Amino acid sequence: MSATPILSPVDSLTQKKELTIPPLLGASVAELTAWVQQQGQPAYRGKQLHEWIYQKGVRSLADISVFSKQWRAEVAEIPIGRSTLHYRSVAPDHTVKYLLQLVDGQIIESVGIPTFGRRSAGGENSKSRLTVCVSTQVGCPMACDFCATGKGGYKRNLARHEIVDQVLTVQEDFQQRVSHVVFMGMGEPLLNIDHVLEAIRSLNQDVGIGQRSLTISTVGIRDRIRQFAQHHLQVTLAVSLHAPNQALREQLIPSAHSYPIEDLLTECREYVEITGRRVTFEYVLLAGVNDLPQHALELAQRLRGFQSHVNLIPYNPIQEADYKRPRHDQIASFVKVLEQQKIAVSVRYSRGLEADAACGQLRASK
Ligand code: SAH
């Protein structure tokens, strides 16, 4: 991984002699321009290609009507890199779950989460949002005890086009611009950091989603948060903490054995210092396991003075684990302790529960 910021105006790829960029999705205007020129076409075709891929969502170069018939025929077989829809289901709360099939037959899951504008007390309509939850790997090697994705094992990293494609697919289906992207689907984003960084660049510059509307969620991989911080992005970093101490964290997250909570928090502090952005700590609430008032107090002590925000996720049931979601009053007491300790906290009631599309339920099956 080079130390050059990924959002620099000139892409390193354009400086390479050999341009082997297809699949084209995920490429910048500069890369696409270099590629069309290499094909003997005038430079302005690059901009046109960019618009057709990202704005019009074209799936085959043969369909780009502004290109000459002859050239379209020549490049018809060059892949843009779109997936095919394998299955789609809509939950009663309007969350849509997609199973997408990749060229090698692998299936991944993505989720579209609409939030409808609410009328505020002043009578104004807040803007409706469309959030996409994207996968970054086929399966996941982290094997957290309470998460369905890890139970199915790990297959491979996703390429940049396979990440960007998920956002375009949801945008197309909803006929609405995607406003937010959360890297919280299948997989551990920081184990696929190069492609995730490329996808962030593309979602930001090609698809047009603001960096602050992108969130990367990680369980924590040694040195990777530090590495991620070096890119000085304005994206939100969410860290899956899930426990206030090392012993409990090890019980829930196998990788915690070799990457202690103190080391993880040190890297998170560096992230705050380098980027000036606060970190979100995710904490899945498991009844009787990590949801007691004493856990909340210990968590508050651990995070004291840290520019952070705690996001509590009441456990979403999965078949392979017998954890339970805490009752409302238990969740409320946990929140109260954190608030009393002046820790910023919110509760995320996952959407899409009925479609098996909620946090931790993604397993690439219907
Ligand atoms: N690998 C990344 C992103 C994937 S999961 C990470 O670990 O952060 C997104 C969030 O859902 C994580 O915080 C994850 O711990 C949480 N999660 C996993 N299983 C869950 C479950 N059954 N119920 C609620 N949240 C869960």
Instruction: Please list the residue range(s) of the chain that carry CATH number 1.10.150.530.
Output: 24-75
Q: Which residue has the tokens 């996968």?
A: 135
pLDDT band at 3; cut points 50, 70, 90: very low
Nearest ligand 1 atom, CA 219: 7
Report which ligand 1 atom has the smallest distance to the Cα of 142: 1
The residue-averaged pLDDT of 238-250 equals: 98
pLDDT score recorded for residue 364: 75
Q: Which of 31, 109, 162, 198 is catalytic?
A: 109
Q: Which of 21-30, 179-188, 214-223, 250-259 has the lowest mean pLDDT?
A: 21-30
Mean pLDDT of the chain: 91
Assess contact for 257 and 144: CB atoms under 8 A: no
Burial profile 163-193: b = 16 or more Cβ within 10 angstroms, e = fewer = bbbbbbbbbeeeeeebbbbbbbbbbbbbbbb
Q: What is the pLDDT of residue 357?
A: 76
Cβ contacts of residue 270 below 8 Å, gap of 6+? Answer: 225, 226, 229
Among protein residues, the one with the nearest Cα to ligand 1's atom 26 is 360
Give the pLDDT confidence of 286-298 residue by residue, as tens digits. Answer: 999 999 999 999 9
Among protein residues, the one with the nearest Cα to ligand 1's atom 5 is: 184
Is residue 9 over pLDDT 50?
Answer: no
Domain with CATH 3.20.20.70 in the chain: 84-355
Instruction: Report, as an integer, the average pLDDT of 204-219.
Output: 98
Provide the pLDDT confidence category of residue 365 given band limits of 50, 70 and 90: confident
CATH class given for the domain over 24-75: mainly alpha
pLDDT score of 19 more than 80: no
Mean pLDDT of 264-272: 97
How much is the average pLDDT of 235-252? 98
Give 56 Cα–ligand 1 centroid separation in angstroms. 33
Contact 256, 246 (CB under 8 A): yes
359 is catalytic: yes
Per-residue pLDDT averaged across 243-262, rounded? 98
147, 225, 346, best to mutate for ligand 1 pocket (most atoms within 8 Å of CB): 147
Query: Whose C-alpha lies nearest to ligand 1, atom 13?
Result: 240
Distance CA 291, CA 242 (A): 10
CA separation for the pair 242, 252 (Å, rounded): 8
Model confidence pLDDT, tens digit, residues 135-161: 999 999 999 999 999 999 999 999 999
Where does the pLDDT of residue 300 fall: very low under 50, low under 70, confident under 90, or very high at 90 and above?
Answer: very high
Distance 339 CA to ligand 1 centre (A): 23
pLDDT at 236 over 80: yes
Average pLDDT over residues 49-63: 97
Can you give the pLDDT at residue 331? 98
Active site residue 109: yes
User: Ligand 1 centre from 359 Cα, in Å?
Assistant: 5
The domain made up of 84-355 has a fold known as: TIM Barrel (3.20.20)
Ligand 1 midpoint to CA 169 (Å):
23
Q: Which residues line ligand 1 (CB under 6 A)?
A: 144, 146-147, 184, 188, 217-219, 240, 282, 284, 313, 315-316, 318, 359-360
Residue 165 CA to ligand 1 center (angstroms) comes to 22
